[in-house]
Amino acid sequence: MENYKITLLKGDGIGPEIVDQAVKVLNKAAEKFDFTVTYDEALLGGCAIDATGVPLPQETIDKCKASDSVILGAVGGPKWDNQPGNNRPEAGLLGIRGALGLFANLRPSVIFGPLKSASPIKDEIIGDDMDIMIVRELTGGIYFGQRGREEDAAWDTEKYSVAEVERIARVAFDLAMKRNKKLTSVDKANVLESSRLWRETVIRVSKDYPEVELNHMYVDNCAMQLVRNPKQFDVIVTSNIFGDILSDEASMIAGSIGMLASASLSGGKLGLYEPIHGSAPDIAGLGIANPLATILSVAMMLRYSLSQPEAAQAIETAVAKVLEQNRTPDIYEDGMNKVSCEQMGDLVCEAL
């Protein structure tokens, strides 16, 4: 029987609530599919600042590196807004990505049938089976470039190496091969030198994947096309900052940011799995947070890090079934059962 060691970074705001429900579902999946899970907890973000003075203690890095995978809730909140930039909760998030070598961020944007009416996009535009995978480079670009500030000026530098672009491109091409063999590379090559290097490198890598249809799109056009005709996309690969923006846009096409999972992967099996939404401190402790993005992140963890694809599919199927009649307040519609965060976790476990 396989046993997996998982580090939990519950974080701030609603983080602890949603992670608790994800753990509940993971335990049920382990029981059903005959594996076991051992958990360890560590601090990241604002809670780490409160306890240790820094957003990413070395102990957290060590625990994560010693585990098979990591589940993260969310970090940040107005409580820590007065911290200097290098000691804000978000700095801990960037730091753990760098420390674990998590260079590839996978953000699926999938329409669950019962939630089609929640999308702001017309049914005839979405279709019945919208399923987009955005592959975002996670440890380079403007978020990790040189930065500075003077009295009346500030700067952040966008920089990419050929090696950084090549490795994220190969992740995207490999995913495209397993899906519909179609890849869109998004850049701003008409303006940015870093984007010109990005495009040149992706084209070179494409020679190793002759079965994949590759096309290129400027980021501003891609933002427009996502709402005009999202069905044209299958896998999208792009830089850190462009991926950050486009994946949030794609999440709203799917109906709610509270439904979108993500995976951050290294070159090996280790991954960090988290919802793409924030810590929502305004609703923390009220029991109304939507845990489904975190639960779906667990499904991604089972698929990409723990080699348990049947368990992953079972969780996704259970979520779809529960959504037919049950909703947390963020996705509630008349005629549905309005349920709490904990109740939603229980219902997914029952459906499993």
Residues 123-173: tens digit of each pLDDT: 667 666 678 999 999 989 998 899 999 999 999 999 999 999 999 999 999
Catalytically annotated residue among 4, 143, 209, 273: 143
Q: With b meaning 16 or more CB within 10 Å and e meaning fewer, what string describes 37-57?
A: beeeebbbbbbbbeeeebbbb
Considering the entire predicted model, what is its pTM?
0.87
| Cβ neighbours around 99 below 10 Å, total | 16
Cβ contacts of residue 9 below 8 Å, gap of 6+? 15, 41, 42, 43, 44, 45, 60, 64, 70, 71, 72, 73, 96
Active site residue 282: no
Active site residue 244: yes
Contact 326, 344 (CB under 8 A): yes
Catalytically annotated residue among 220, 269, 282, 338: 220
Catalytically annotated residue among 248, 321, 332, 346: 248
Helix/strand/coil for 193: helix
Catalytically annotated residue among 244, 273, 304, 330: 244
All domains of the chain, ordered by start, with CATH?
1-107+254-352 (3.40.718.10), 120-253 (3.40.718.10)
Phi, psi at 10, each rounded to 5° = -70, -35
The pLDDT value given to residue 269 = 85
The pLDDT value given to residue 206 = 98
Active site residue 79: no
Active site residue 209: no
Please identify every stretch of the chain with a pLDDT value under 70, giving residue numbers as ranges: 113-114, 116-118, 120, 123-124, 126-129, 254-256
The pLDDT value given to residue 69 = 97
The pLDDT value given to residue 128 = 64
The pLDDT value given to residue 268 = 82
Active site residue 220: yes
The pLDDT value given to residue 249 = 86
